[in-house]
Amino acid sequence: MFLLFDVGNTNIFIGISDGFKIIDTYRLNTEVTKTADEYYIQMKNLIDFSTVKHIAISSVVPRVTERLKEISTKFVGIEPLIVGPGIKTGLNIKTDHPREVGADLICDSVGIDDDISKALIIDLGTAIKYIYVKNKTILGVIITPGVTISIKALVGQTALLPDIDIEVPKKVLGTNTIHCMQSGVTYGVASQVDGLIDRIRREVNEDFEVILTGGLSEMIAPLCDHDLSVDSDLILKGLLKIYNKNEQFRK
């Protein structure tokens, strides 16, 4: 069995795979103060570690990366693949500073189907990432604050606005404070998605497929006007592909 970890600033997205497809997924809160032992005890309720033969990690939180690496070596006896310099990805990165491109952006880009030549991947995570990929090459990225960040900023910088659950209200124009805020962070993100798709199409002067992914993709997709697809497991699929390209970890 393959155990896949995508570590974001808000969640650890865990995938179970048979080496070909994603079989099951789980999400845990990202807690940088938690020890490897504490994470392991929590994960034991979800994962049968005795069946794990391969582990891969994509992470943007170095302290949690170390905890997962410790779990891999201490409790499973496996040296994990960690996406970073020296790892084969099959992806070209045409940016000013390729080493600055995060593991999450790389895995998202590798995860798209091989028959898709041009795609805009929109990852609705803690930060929203727009990744333009053409012929297995990242040509440009946009990063904006995500829904959770927007809510925290709104609540933290105002005296009277309450913390809210992320839900889609029935109407765009709210008639109470909670619905007004929920409309802003859901319909607002959907409008941002639609607007940036148009701007990117004008800039690259070509058509492309649009793929939404990330924890809120299924909530936001129906609010968008453009044709797009949703693949909530895209980043795990990319991580699995990367693992399979690095034969030294399959021994």
Question: pLDDT tens digits for 104-123?
Answer: 999 999 999 999 999 999 99
pLDDT computed for residue 99 by the predictor:
85
Domain membership of residue 211 (yes or no) is yes
Domain membership of residue 246 (yes or no) is no
pLDDT computed for residue 6 by the predictor:
97
CA distance 74 to 78: 8
Domain membership of residue 18 (yes or no) is yes
pLDDT over 80 at 250, yes or no? no
Number of domains in the chain: 2
Nearest to 212, CA basis, from 235, 188, 228, 195: 228
Residues 40 and 116 in one domain: no
Residue 138, C-beta contacts closer than 8 angstroms, at least 6 positions apart: 91, 92, 93, 94, 95, 101, 105, 106, 109, 131, 132
The boundaries of the domain holding residue 36 are 2-82
Is residue 139 very low, low, confident or very high in pLDDT (cuts 50, 70, 90)?
A: very high
Domain membership of residue 64 (yes or no) is yes
CATH number at residue 43: 3.30.420.40
Residues 223 and 121 in one domain: yes
Catalytic member of 18, 24, 37, 104: 104
CA distance 176 to 179: 6
Domain membership of residue 213 (yes or no) is yes
Rounded to two decimals, the pTM is 0.91
pLDDT over 70 at 251, yes or no? no
Domain boundary pick from 64, 82, 100: 82
Question: pLDDT tens digits for 88-100?
Answer: 999 999 988 888 8
Domain membership of residue 249 (yes or no) is no
Mean pLDDT of the chain: 93
Residues 102 and 226 in one domain: yes
Is residue 150 very low, low, confident or very high in pLDDT (cuts 50, 70, 90)?
A: confident
Q: Is 104 a catalytic residue?
A: yes
pLDDT over 70 at 236, yes or no? yes
Question: pLDDT tens digits for 204-220?
Answer: 999 999 999 998 999 99
Residues 78 and 96 in one domain: no
pLDDT computed for residue 171 by the predictor:
94
pLDDT computed for residue 249 by the predictor:
67
Residue 91, C-beta contacts closer than 8 angstroms, at least 6 positions apart: 106, 109, 110, 136, 137, 138
Tokens of 71: 């779990």
pLDDT over 70 at 23, yes or no? yes
